[in-house]
């Protein structure tokens, strides 16, 4: 059973008591990410996340690290396109300490000059590491191609140039603008007493003042971005080519989300999928191939990724298009629909065994959708998907022909490759 409340200063709280475990997960979700940035401050959300661990009015960065180690827990954070999360996983008896450390990070950061300059070097190395990962790089290139001119095209880490340009004034301005109660959700899941925890949260987070947003936290993305066909490529001296095909999916909360999850699973979402079985298992043309979907406030992405030799690119692109065309014409079978429903429900139910996953689902849902779907609601939605839903979402996603391509690898004859890809995938 989920409990929802609001602290005295406006921070929303979602809680789920799980009395049969000995642990607790708590997260602070802040509605800020790369979607709130522009090219001048790209990476500021991720940089700010790092800086909150470098010291507060009460603790040094080292003391923060030692504090969580001393109770045997995990303190960490992550930045996504549309939100940032700071969390602790620990034994239930240490929940008050977890609340104390998280509230200190959020309420009392000091953003010292030396720490900022040092973190610029750390994150610059992280960006370089990311650039050396072609699978990560090709997805950034795909987003740049699909959403050019909007904040969705920006990499979460930022660039070496933007990160090196940050100073205390820029960081403090961004922090004060977005780290406000109306822009936050606290999510707690595990073994605890909700009434007691609510009182403790009020005590610890009361220092954050109540401020009206007045829509200043809206992203700068268009209501519905215009997606055009484009091919993006980068030469990199690596042995394997990394290839991505992307098209517009569905936005967060869309009625077609779960039907598209079904289609994704059948097409390329698991090892029994059509793409994996046909292109890897039968043909042996790739090492890795899968499909994937992302959802955002006003749009979404359905993508297909493959890792392969340069020599196999055209052949694999042709096979991918053949599977897409087969899906458009034949949809999926009723047996595939039944089997995939069970796979997805099993995966979802197994995820409920983990208090961290449950905590993230609660916090993200409340922050981005302003509501929480119960397990019963989600399972019912999956059960109620019919062939008419599959037909509708296949037509919507795969019949628009607004495909985008990105690839990274040792390809020298780009013009010839690109022309062949256009003929296969765009027409």
- How far is residue 327's CA from residue 350's CA, in Å, rounded to a whole number? 29
**How many Å is the Cα radius of gyration of the chain?**
23
Question: How many Cα atoms are found within 13 Å in the side-chain-facing hemisphere of 258?
Answer: 22
Q: Give yes or no for a contact between 39 and 107, defined as CB atoms under 8 angstroms apart.
A: no
Q: Which of 16, 49, 144, 364 is catalytic?
A: 49
**Which tokens go with 145?**
């191609």
Q: Which two tokens stand for residue 58?
A: 């009460």
Give the residues across from 296 on adjacent strands: none
User: Pairing state of beta strands 241-248 and 84-91?
Assistant: unpaired
List of long-range contacts for 129-132, beta carbons under 8 Å, 24+ apart? 130/155, 130/157
d(CA 327, CA 332): 7
CA separation, residue 315 to residues 202, 207, 299, 395 (Å): 60, 60, 30, 25
**Is 419 an active-site residue?**
no
CB atoms within 10 A of CB 295: 19
Active site residue ranges? 49
């Amino acid at each position: 059973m989920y409990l929802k409340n609001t602290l005295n200063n406006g921070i929303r709280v979602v809680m789920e008591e799980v009395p049969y475990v000995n642990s607790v997960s708590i997260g602070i979700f802040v509605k800020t990410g790369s979607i709130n940035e522009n090219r001048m401050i790209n990476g500021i959300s991720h940089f700010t996340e790092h800086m909150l661990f470098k010291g507060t009015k009460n603790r040094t960065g080292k003391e923060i690290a030692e504090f969580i180690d001393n109770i045997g827990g995990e303190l960490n954070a992550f930045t996504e396109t549309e939100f940032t999360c700071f969390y602790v996983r620990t034994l239930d008896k240490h929940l008050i300490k977890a609340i104390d450390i998280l509230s200190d990070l959020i309420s009392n950061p000091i953003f010292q000059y030396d720490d900022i300059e040092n973190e610029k070097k750390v994150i610059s190395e992280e960006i370089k590491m990311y650039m050396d990962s072609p699978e990560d790089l090709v997805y950034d290139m795909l987003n740049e191609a699909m959403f050019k001119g909007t904040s969705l095209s920006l990499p979460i880490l930022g660039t070496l140039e933007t990160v090196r340009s940050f100073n205390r004034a820029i960081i403090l301005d961004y922090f004060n603008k977005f780290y406000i109660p109306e822009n936050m959700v606290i999510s707690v899941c595990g073994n605890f007493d909700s009434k007691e925890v609510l009182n403790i949260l009020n005590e610890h987070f009361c220092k954050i003042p109540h401020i009206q947003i007045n829509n200043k936290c809206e992203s700068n993305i268009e209501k519905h971005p215009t997606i055009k066909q484009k091919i993006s490529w980068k030469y990199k001296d690596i042995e394997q080519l990394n290839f991505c095909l992307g098209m517009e999916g569905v936005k967060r909360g869309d009625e077609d989300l779960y039907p598209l999850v079904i289609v994704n699973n059948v097409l390329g979402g698991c090892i029994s999928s059509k793409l994996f079985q046909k292109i890897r298992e039968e043909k042996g043309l790739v090492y890795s191939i899968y499909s994937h979907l992302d959802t955002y406030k006003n749009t979404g992405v359905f993508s297909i990724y493959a890792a392969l030799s340069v020599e196999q690119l055209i052949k694999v692109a042709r096979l991918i298009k053949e599977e897409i065309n087969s899906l458009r014409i034949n949809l999926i079978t009723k047996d595939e629909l039944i089997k995939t429903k069970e796979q997805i429900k099993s995966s979802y139910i197994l995820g409920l065994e983990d208090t961290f996953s449950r905590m993230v689902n609660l916090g993200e849902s409340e922050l981005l959708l302003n509501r929480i779907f119960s397990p019963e609601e989600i399972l019912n939605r999956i059960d109620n998907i019919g062939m008419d839903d599959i037909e509708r979402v296949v037509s919507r996603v795969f019949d628009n022909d607004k495909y985008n391509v990105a690839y990274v690898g040792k390809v020298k004859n780009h013009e010839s490759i690109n022309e062949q890809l256009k003929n296969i995938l765009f027409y």
